[in-house]
Amino acid sequence: MKTLILGAGYAGLAVATKLKPTPGLEALMVEQNAYHTFETRLHEAAAHNTRVTLPLAPLLRGTGVELEQAQVDHVDLDEKEVKLKDGRVLTYDTLVVGLGSVTNFYRIPGLAENASELKQLSDADEIFNFVNRAFSSEYQGNRDIVVGGAGLTGVELVTELAQRAALLSKERGLPPFNIYLVEAGPKILPILDEGLRAKAQRTLEEYGIHILVGHRLMQATADTVTVQTASGEQKVIEAGKIIWTGGIQARDIVSGRQLEKGPGGRIAVDDKLRAKGYPEVFVIGDMGLALNQEGKPVPTTAQHAGQQGRLTGKNILRLARGEELDAYEPTTLGEFVSLGGLMAVGWMKLPWNQKLAITGGIAHVMKRASEWRWRASID
């Protein structure tokens, strides 16, 4: 059974590391980088140049999975072909699509052309280099930063940037730059309940971050953004760096006559995480539209991508042995938001569907614990 695993993000890597050499199973992972990126920690790399990658070769040792470092151009499910950027074409018996998501700029004029993203290591490097330049004596331009989107990524990024700016300000005798967090919705961090959200907002305010909720980003240029309030008032904010974290969409890289797509271009899957109409194709992580026990879309988070990947890895082994596949039963163990340094807020799941709210250093430890669990699951 010739199996291709596309992508080495949280979902794809979880698949590969659950496999083991099995008679009749030939597995190949296709990934453009030679490393796995902890995407949930890219904000740390952007502010502090923290190492957030792991080389893939040691992780795949003993799994029977070979690594092909290449970039996927297009996947044709009807022809059962994967076309690579270098012109090669790969075929498969079983396919795992875990290619993740891309930034959704919502067709806002000038945004895609002028805003940085935070989706991969090179994005984090670009932001880190700007911050260092902005605190050099030779820098002459605007030093302020505008971050669009006050979800998890945006909030974690601005807090780390505020800490970095404070540190460099003391070291180099320059005032810290202004950081604007722009959100079209009425509140930051909609994934949290009101108490935790209020705690997070107070922390951001203590950092001196300008929180602009109810401000829709209308346009971007190389050094400005135009925002509009609910009342229709528009204002222009000047910035040396614009970063957009306000939305994602599935990669538009897979075609098939029977393919069903939902919101954000995610591919509809069955209870085994197989693309509807294509039982030999598993679609997991940000690209898959899996449903929870209430029939609602499963969130595009790292913990759910890992769960889907681990199940899919086990199911591929079952396929190779001619056994029945297990169904996907998602569970959310908790959600934690880093607020810089040793500060975090969030909640963890308790028995009987209860939630325990946690803040401060303990929440930081819990967030780190989830990352340690992920690292243990792929070793």
Measure Cα distances from 205 to 181, 197, 198, 200, 201 in Å. Answer: 11, 12, 11, 9, 6
Q: What is the pLDDT of residue 275?
A: 98
On whether the CB atoms of residues 240 and 144 are closer than 8 A, the answer is yes
288 and 338 fall within a common domain: no
DSSP class of residue 194 equals H
Considering its fold, how many domains does the chain have in total? 3
Distance CA 4, CA 92 (A): 6
Supply the CATH number for residue 188's domain. 3.50.50.60
Residue type, 151: G
DSSP three-state, residue 205: helix
Residue 51 lies in a domain: yes
Q: What is the pLDDT of residue 137?
A: 87
Residue 370: is its pLDDT beyond 90?
no
Distance CA 157, CA 133 (A): 18
167 and 222 fall within a common domain: yes
Distance CA 177, CA 165 (A): 7
List, for residues 334-357, the tens digit of each pLDDT value: 999 999 888 999 999 988 778 999
List, for residues 144-160, the tens digit of each pLDDT value: 999 999 999 999 999 99
Supply the CATH number for residue 64's domain. 3.50.50.100
Residue 204: is its pLDDT beyond 90?
yes
If you search the block for the tokens 């109810």, which residue do you land on? 214
Q: What is the pLDDT of residue 10?
A: 97
In sequence order, what DSSP letters do the residues of 26-40 get, joined into one string? EEEEEESSSEEE-GG
Residue 325 lies in a domain: no
Q: Where are the alpha helices (DSSP H) in the chain?
A: 10-18, 42-48, 56-60, 111-114, 121-134, 152-172, 194-206, 302-320, 361-378
Cα-based angle 175, 179, 184 (whole degrees, multiple of 5): 165
303 and 343 fall within a common domain: no
Rg (CA), the chain: 22
* pLDDT (mean) for 45-69: 96
DSSP class of residue 119 equals S
Residue 144 lies in a domain: yes
Q: Which two tokens stand for residue 195?
A: 């108490």
List, for residues 309-326, the tens digit of each pLDDT value: 999 999 999 999 999 999
The whole domain housing 350 covers 334-376
295 and 362 fall within a common domain: no
Residue 116 lies in a domain: no
Residue 125: is its pLDDT beyond 90?
yes
Distance CA 254, CA 197 (A): 37
Q: Which two tokens stand for residue 177?
A: 């730059």
DSSP three-state, residue 2: strand
96 and 158 fall within a common domain: no
94 and 11 fall within a common domain: yes
Q: What is the pLDDT of residue 102?
A: 96
The confidence band for 372, taking pLDDT boundaries of 50, 70 and 90, is confident
Distance CA 33, CA 7 (A): 9
Residue 282: is its pLDDT beyond 90?
yes
Residue type, 348: M
Last residue of a domain, one of 320, 342, 360: 320
173 and 95 fall within a common domain: no
Distance CA 57, CA 54 (A): 9
262 and 338 fall within a common domain: no
Residue 326 lies in a domain: no
Average pLDDT, rounded, for the chain: 95
Residue 111 lies in a domain: no
List, for residues 3-21, the tens digit of each pLDDT value: 999 999 999 999 999 999 9
The confidence band for 94, taking pLDDT boundaries of 50, 70 and 90, is very high
Q: Is the dihedral of CA 293, 294, 297, 303 positive or negative?
A: negative
On whether the CB atoms of residues 6 and 96 are closer than 8 A, the answer is yes
217 and 259 fall within a common domain: no
DSSP class of residue 176 equals P
229 and 149 fall within a common domain: yes
The confidence band for 267, taking pLDDT boundaries of 50, 70 and 90, is very high
Cβ neighbours, 10 Å, residue 37: 20
Using a cut of 0.75, tell me whether the model's pTM lies above it.
yes
Distance CA 159, CA 47 (A): 9
Residue 113 lies in a domain: no
Last residue of a domain, one of 178, 209, 244: 244
